[in-house]
Chain A
Amino acid sequence: MRFEESRIKNALVVKVLESRIVADVAPQFKEGLVTYVRDGNKNIVLDLSDVTFIDSSGLGALIGSLKAVRKDGELVLCGARDAVVNMLKLTRMDKVFQIFSTPEEAASALS
């Protein structure tokens, strides 16, 4: 699971560099995000602009990460493509996650 990190204001922007968040990468995906939290990052923007597909295990890992982050911070999403947005809507996760179009908008909402 590869991520690219950058910083906007006081948020850590984590861009997912994989096109598919599916069963075989889901555990590393969550582990990676939880590590950012453990390292003291409270505001995390997850940039999904390269992600074309999230399966049920991937969604489970995303929700598990959100639960872990929310103990002491916030995780928001940005750049989600149509297929990902549709899946988030079908599962009503658009009510659980804050979803923004750009990392800048997401970071501003967190500051």
Chain B
Amino acid sequence: MLLHTQGHEVIEAADGELAWRLVEQGQISFVVSDWMMPNLAGVDLCRRIRAAEFENYVYVILCTSKGAKADLIEGMDAGADDFVVKPISPEELRVKVRAGGRVLSLQQGLSEKNRELGRINAQLHSAHTLVEEDLKAAAWMQQRLLPLLTQQAHGVRCAWRLQPCGYIAGDIFNLFPLDESEVGFYLLDVSGHGVPAAMMSVTLSVLLTPDATHGSPLKRYDASTGRSLVLSPDEVVRELNRRFQSKDDRYFTILYGVFDIRSSRLRFAQAGHPCPILIRDGQEPVILGEGGMPVGLWPEIEFDCFEVSVRPHDRILLYSDGVTECVSRSGDAFGEERLLRYLWEQQPMPLEELLTGLFTEVTAWHGNSDFADDISLLAIEITDEGLHCESTEQMATKQQEYKRRKMDAI
């Protein structure tokens, strides 16, 4: 009667067992129960309610005639929320039911919020899965743009490693025949990370093919002869710089090389990219090149070209700054010196093993393969096919010339 007047719908049960049957249906949110009841005591009813773990909380007040401390402890242990001592004071029951009501309404608000969070979480999860799937697909497409693991052409073969810092990389490289005697190869690194850098690297990779029908920047069509001429590396980079002027601060660094099997010469253009390293049997590895501005920052800049004579078994390593800038746990960079030392000590190794070993070395230096920047390695080896009729003497003269020019440049 008292509770009716407070606006609650009251359902009465004659004993504990009957009360449990009502509560079991899941519609009851508030139980005021006598402690002593036939069939099922109030404290046991309370235990069953807690054990059932209903979706909505059921608030339980136990009425006891004793008010003994031991009973209160047992009741609370069974999961009772509150107690009233008989004889029941209507005022006390009223405030205790009201307090219970507040708890229930808070609890209800909380479950609604939880349900809402659950819904949002599921949405986020599915959105994340979608993005992840897209990135995996993009990574797969990017991988397909890379050279074959055993790619070779005109006296040059290559080995490579690419470890993107996310799913997709801003680094990319390739090697391809340009005509019947020349091979082009490059390694480039787009500034920044993530999707924008990767989209740019993929665009560049698609553009940098010798297929002249698509206006390749690597060749120039000569209408008088009807032939496409291979452009020198500096001309290629200048053309790329003309085409890729960016309005944000994005740019890329590139090392583009052309090997000519007729002359056993390698020509390079270096735009902001780490210097290539020449590895020759029995000699200390040599750093080639003097640097150069990156591509995309200023429209009217010139790029240099430098060249080196090579002989069979010579190797050239191109790499991205992710290798040398990779830091150890204590924050020290892997650095150029360590790279050179590795190449010097391990140079007798076959090309693939040399790169695998280097990658292992860098990973060990970092502590794991979760790098902060893309790691890319492209090694070129001159094969026996690349042996030209040039005599050793001629080669030596050319080498000296090259060294002298290098010294002059310094």
Residue numbers of A with Cβ under 8 A of B are 23, 26, 30, 53, 55-57, 59-61, 63-64, 83, 89-93, 95-96
Query: How many chain B residues touch A (Cβ–Cβ < 8 Å)?
Result: 21
CB atoms of A56 and B192 under 8 A apart: yes
Contact of A91 among B249, B250, B293, B325 (CB under 8 A): B293
Q: By the criterion CB–CB under 8 Å, are B274 and A90 in contact? A: yes
Q: In the complex, what residue of chain A is closest to B191 when comparing beta carbons?
A: A56
**Is residue B292 contacting chain A, with contact meaning CB distance below 8 A?**
yes
Q: In whole angstroms, how far apart are the Cα atoms of A64 and B192 in the complex?
A: 14
Q: Mark B257-275, 1 if CB is under 8 A from A, else 0.
A: 0000000000000001011
Q: Within 8 Å of chain A (Cβ to Cβ): is B240?
A: no
Distance (Å) between the CB of A27 and the closest chain B CB?
9
> Which A-B residue pairs are the 7 nearest by beta carbons?
A60-B249, A64-B249, A56-B191, A90-B291, A91-B272, A92-B293, A60-B191
Query: Would you call A23 and B249 a contact (CB within 8 A)?
Result: no
Across the two chains, which residue of chain B brings its CB closest to A56?
B191
Q: List 24 A-B contacts (CB under 8 A).
A: A23-B192, A23-B193, A26-B249, A53-B333, A55-B321, A56-B191, A56-B192, A57-B191, A60-B192, A60-B248, A61-B249, A63-B297, A64-B248, A83-B333, A90-B274, A90-B275, A90-B291, A91-B293, A91-B294, A92-B272, A92-B292, A92-B293, A93-B293, A95-B293
A55 to B372, CA, bound (A): 11
Are B373 and A30 in contact, CB atoms less than 8 angstroms apart? Answer: no
Closest beta carbon of chain B to A69's beta carbon, Å: 14
Secondary structure type dominating chain B contacts: loop
Set B272, B291, B325: member contacting A55, Cβ < 8 A: B325
B34 at the interface (CB under 8 A from A): no
Please determine whether B291 and A91 come into contact, CB atoms closer than 8 angstroms: yes
Residues of B near A23 (CB, < 8 A) are 192-193
Q: Is B189 located at the chain interface by the 8 A CB criterion? A: yes
- Complex CA distance for A59 and B191, rounded to whole angstroms: 9
By the criterion CB–CB under 8 Å, are B249 and A55 in contact?
no
B253 at the interface (CB under 8 A from A): yes
Q: Are B192 and A57 in contact (CB under 8 A)?
A: yes
For window 47-92 of chain B, which residues contact chain A by CB distance below 8 Å?
none
A58 to chain B, nearest CB (A): 9
Which residues of the partner chain A approach B251 to less than 8 Å between Cβ atoms? 56, 60, 63
Whether A60 and B250, one on each chain, are in contact in the complex, defined by CB atoms closer than 8 angstroms, is: yes
Q: In the complex, what residues of A have CB within 8 A of residue B272's CB? A: 90-92
Render B274-300 as a binary contact track against A, CB cut-off 8 A, 1 for contact: 110000000000000001111001000
